[in-house]
């Protein structure tokens, strides 16, 4: 890049290939000229290995995909009636920079899980070593706050990757990278480590040790198509993120309706009633056990367990009511609420973990 400095010390960057003026962000490390597609390392040479995953969607198909998703997911939660009041705005396309890190890996982990048999719990040791090849996708932006970008990155595959050409960007913004090839493998290691640990912790009660070795073999710089569709409903604005690679919604927002709140209130009321029914006989059972001299300590576990379960149900009811007071809910591609804290299923799972 060449620079031209004015008396006010303002710097104007120009592309080495087409000489077009080009602004750079303070954190940009790898940049692409929006006019000719020349890609370069800031302060260095041209980056020749630059790929693109073409978008399989246009504005019309994005609208169709979003409308179909809204109809399906709203029928499961907030009510399909919102479709009559939705005004879908023109979707926008952005090209997000990523690194695809191809690496050999070896993991070793040690943990333990509980198994139940004949009403007894026993701890089982789990220790295993696995190896193989993995392709990790790393977002090349340090401060990205784009809605649904994490879910978008997780959905990527490079089956349709092609050499980058600026004409394939369809005149949409091509974002610059804020990390370089040296930083990408480290971030890929962190992503796989975090994902593996989360998956293992779902499979066992305790994860005592986890080690990951990665040997990067290839690091490819790519731009991938991310669509964002906004829609209005009763003066509120909501977002839906769509992958241009797969053509599917990756994350969306739904407005909280009266029907949604009614469902949560009914669920909460049922849990409060169950809590009251469990708690009501506890004092009488405790009194009877205290009067019976033949009662052993194990007998007292029954009313105490009932009281504990009643308290959990009351807390779950309170949590579900709190969720109904939100303005919108985030829903995944398969129609499930991303924030499980406010759902009945999430509350029950939390209760199971506490009891066990």
pLDDT digits (tens, 9 = 90+) for 190-246: 999 999 999 999 889 899 999 999 999 999 999 999 999 999 999 899 999 999 999
Return the pLDDT at 284: 82
Whether residue 347 has pLDDT greater than 60:
no
Among 17-31, 61-75, 321-335, where is mean pLDDT lowest? 321-335
Q: Is residue 156 part of a domain?
A: yes
If asked whether residues 209 and 89 sit together in one domain, one would say: yes
Return the pLDDT at 12: 61
Q: 193 or 24: whose pLDDT is higher? A: 193
Return the pLDDT at 10: 34
If asked whether residues 125 and 6 sit together in one domain, one would say: no
The residue-averaged pLDDT of 63-75 equals 94
Whether residue 355 has pLDDT greater than 70:
no
Return the pLDDT at 145: 67
Return the pLDDT at 263: 79
If asked whether residues 9 and 153 sit together in one domain, one would say: no
Return the pLDDT at 1: 40
Return the pLDDT at 4: 41
Q: 328 or 110: whose pLDDT is higher? A: 110
Whether residue 39 has pLDDT greater than 60:
yes
If asked whether residues 305 and 278 sit together in one domain, one would say: yes
Which structural domain range is residue 26 located in?
A: 1-48
If asked whether residues 105 and 184 sit together in one domain, one would say: yes
* % of the chain surpassing 90 pLDDT: 54
If asked whether residues 223 and 289 sit together in one domain, one would say: no
Residue 137 has φ and ψ, to the nearest 5°, of -100, 130
Count of structural domains within the chain? 3
If asked whether residues 5 and 88 sit together in one domain, one would say: no
Q: Is residue 204 part of a domain?
A: yes
Residue that terminates a domain, selected from 238, 255, 272: 255
If asked whether residues 165 and 200 sit together in one domain, one would say: yes
Q: Is residue 333 part of a domain?
A: no
Q: Is residue 262 part of a domain?
A: yes
Return the pLDDT at 349: 54
Return the pLDDT at 230: 96
* % of the chain surpassing 70 pLDDT: 87
Q: Is residue 295 part of a domain?
A: yes
How many angstroms separate the CA atoms of 329 and 260, rounded?
10
Q: Is residue 251 part of a domain?
A: yes
The residue-averaged pLDDT of 156-184 equals 92
Q: Is residue 334 part of a domain?
A: no
Q: Is residue 248 part of a domain?
A: yes
If asked whether residues 215 and 162 sit together in one domain, one would say: yes
Return the pLDDT at 231: 97
Whether residue 120 has pLDDT greater than 80:
no
Return the pLDDT at 5: 38
If asked whether residues 192 and 318 sit together in one domain, one would say: no
Residue that terminates a domain, selected from 231, 255, 279: 255
Whether residue 64 has pLDDT greater than 50:
yes
Residue that terminates a domain, selected from 11, 33, 48: 48
If asked whether residues 79 and 108 sit together in one domain, one would say: yes
Return the pLDDT at 119: 67
Q: How confident is the model at residue 82 (pLDDT cuts 50, 70, 90)?
A: very high
If asked whether residues 317 and 306 sit together in one domain, one would say: yes
In whole numbers, what is the pLDDT of the chain averaged over residues? 86
Whether residue 346 has pLDDT greater than 60:
no
């Amino acid at each position: 890049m060449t620079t031209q400095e004015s008396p006010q010390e303002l710097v104007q960057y120009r592309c080495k290939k087409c000489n077009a003026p080009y602004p750079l962000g303070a954190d940009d490390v790898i940049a692409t000229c929006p006019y000719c597609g020349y890609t370069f390392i800031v302060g260095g040479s041209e980056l020749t290995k630059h790929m693109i995953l073409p978008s399989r969607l246009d504005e019309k198909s994005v609208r169709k995909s979003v409308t179909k998703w809204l109809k399906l997911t709203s029928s499961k939660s907030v009510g399909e009636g919102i479709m009559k009041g939705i005004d879908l705005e023109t979707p926008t396309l952005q090209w997000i920079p990523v690194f695809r890190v191809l690496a050999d890996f070896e993991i070793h982990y040690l943990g333990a899980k509980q198994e139940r048999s004949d009403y007894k719990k026993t701890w089982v040791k789990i220790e295993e070593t696995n190896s193989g090849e993995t392709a990790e996708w790393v977002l090349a932006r340090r401060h990205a706050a784009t809605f649904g970008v994490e879910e978008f990155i997780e959905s990527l595959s490079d089956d349709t990757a092609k050499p980058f050409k600026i004409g394939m960007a369809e005149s949409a913004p091509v974002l610059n990278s804020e990390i370089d090839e040296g930083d990408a493998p480290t971030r890929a290691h962190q992503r796989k480590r975090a994902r593996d640990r989360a998956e293992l912790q779902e499979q066992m009660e305790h994860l005592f040790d986890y080690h990951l070795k990665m040997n990067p073999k290839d690091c490819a710089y790519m731009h991938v198509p991310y669509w964002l569709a906004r829609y209005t409903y009763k003066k509120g604005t909501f977002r839906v993120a769509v992958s241009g690679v797969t053509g599917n919604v990756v994350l969306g927002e739904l407005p909280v309706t009266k029907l949604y709140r009614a469902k949560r209130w009914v669920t909460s009321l049922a849990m409060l009633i169950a809590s009251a029914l469990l708690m009501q006989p506890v004092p009488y059972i405790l009194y009877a056990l205290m009067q019976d001299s033949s009662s052993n300590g194990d007998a007292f576990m029954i009313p105490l367990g009932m009281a504990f379960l009643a308290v959990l149900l009351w807390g779950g009811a309170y949590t579900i009511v709190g969720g109904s007071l939100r303005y919108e809910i985030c829903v995944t591609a398969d129609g499930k609420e991303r924030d499980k804290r406010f759902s009945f299923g999430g509350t029950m799972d939390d209760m199971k973990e506490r009891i066990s």
